[in-house]
Chains A and B, each alone.
Chain A
Amino acid sequence: DGGITQSPKYLFRKEGQNVTLSCEQNLNHDAMYWYRQDPGQGLRLIYYSQIVNDFQKGDIAEGYSVSREKKESFPLTVTSAQKNPTAFYLCASSIDAARTEAFFGQGTRLTVV
């Protein structure tokens, strides 16, 4: 089945540690995205990538880093510089970066203690 896989579903880390969230897609989509969702709020764009080996900052990129070495993979690292990392993180992909819809993974809930 084609889709977007995020892992793990739940992640716990101690404050000050970096953590990497995985996102893999087998839809052959060029564009991939990372969003952050906080309780009762909408989605905020962290980073996006339109093509392999290229990515751009979204609205809240500070404290996060990404890489796009393969078309199917777009991992997100939450660094110790991110002041409030506890949130629900959603990865998405779309055929291209034009007017098409995005498809989402099931999300990773990160809790930093």
Chain B
Amino acid sequence: GNSVTQMEGPVTLSEEAFLTINCTYTATGYPSLFWYVQYPGEGLQLLLKATKADDKGSNKGFEATYRKETTSFHLEKGSVQVSDSAVYFCALRGAQKLVFGQGTRLTINP
């Protein structure tokens, strides 16, 4: 079945550092890929998405490129802020279901 694997956290960075959170997937067909963000005690918010190979999703300085050849969708940001501290989930959408990775907790120190 479909599955998503994220890099294990927690990840701790200093403000203005470069961020990469790795995400790889296993899926049949051509799934859509997503990154969601969750702040403490809240639901998930869609951060960005890509629906086909080589698409780049971007939002709020975050980017991720749908790489079919490496089955990856790594999240990147050039300069993180304290307000980016949250849990990030990679997800894929195949037939009917949305499948999530385990989440990566990110903490940004000032």
- A contacts, CB < 8 Å to B: 4, 6, 33, 35, 40-43, 45, 48, 50, 56, 58, 90, 92, 94, 97-107, 109
Please list the 4 inter-chain residue pairs (A to B) with the smallest Cβ-Cβ separation, ordered nearest first.
A104-B43, A99-B32, A42-B102, A104-B44
Chain A residues closer than 8 Å to B32, beta-carbon distance? 99-101
Chain A residues closer than 8 Å to B51, beta-carbon distance? 99
Q: How many angstroms between the C-alpha atoms of A20 and B34 in the bound complex?
A: 30
Assess whether A99 is in contact with B43, with CB atoms less than 8 Å apart.
Answer: no
Residue from B34, B36, B93 whose CB has the most chain A CB atoms within 10 Å: B93
- How many residues on B have C-beta within 8 angstroms of the other chain's C-beta atoms? 22
Assess whether A100 is in contact with B43, with CB atoms less than 8 Å apart.
Answer: no
Is B25 an interface residue, CB under 8 A from the partner? no
User: Which single residue of chain A is at the shortest CB-CB distance from B6?
Assistant: A42
A45 and B97 contact, Cβ closer than 8 Å, known pairs A99-B51, A101-B32, A101-B49: yes
Q: How many angstroms between the C-alpha atoms of A97 and B97 in the bound complex?
A: 7
Min C-beta distance of A34 to chain B, whole Å: 12
Q: Can you offer 9 A-B residue contacts whose CB atoms are under 8 A?
A: A40-B103, A45-B98, A90-B44, A99-B31, A99-B32, A99-B51, A99-B93, A101-B32, A106-B42
Assess whether A58 is in contact with B97, with CB atoms less than 8 Å apart.
Answer: yes
Q: How many angstroms between the C-alpha atoms of A14 and B42 in the bound complex?
A: 24
User: Which single residue of chain B is at the shortest CB-CB distance from A9?
Assistant: B41
A101 and B34 contact, Cβ closer than 8 Å, known pairs A42-B89, A42-B103: yes
Is B14 an interface residue, CB under 8 A from the partner? no
Chain B residues closer than 8 Å to A58, beta-carbon distance? 97
Min C-beta distance of B42 to chain A, whole Å: 6
Within 8 A of A (CB), among B72-106: 89, 93, 95-98, 100-103
Assess whether B100 is in contact with A43, with CB atoms less than 8 Å apart.
Answer: yes
Assess whether A90 is in contact with B102, with CB atoms less than 8 Å apart.
Answer: no
A90 and B43 contact, Cβ closer than 8 Å, known pairs A42-B89, A99-B51: yes
User: Which single residue of chain B is at the shortest CB-CB distance from A33?
Assistant: B98
Q: Other than A58-B97, A90-B44, A106-B42, give 8 A-B pairs with Cβ distance below 8 A.
A: A41-B103, A42-B102, A100-B93, A101-B93, A102-B93, A102-B98, A104-B44, A105-B43
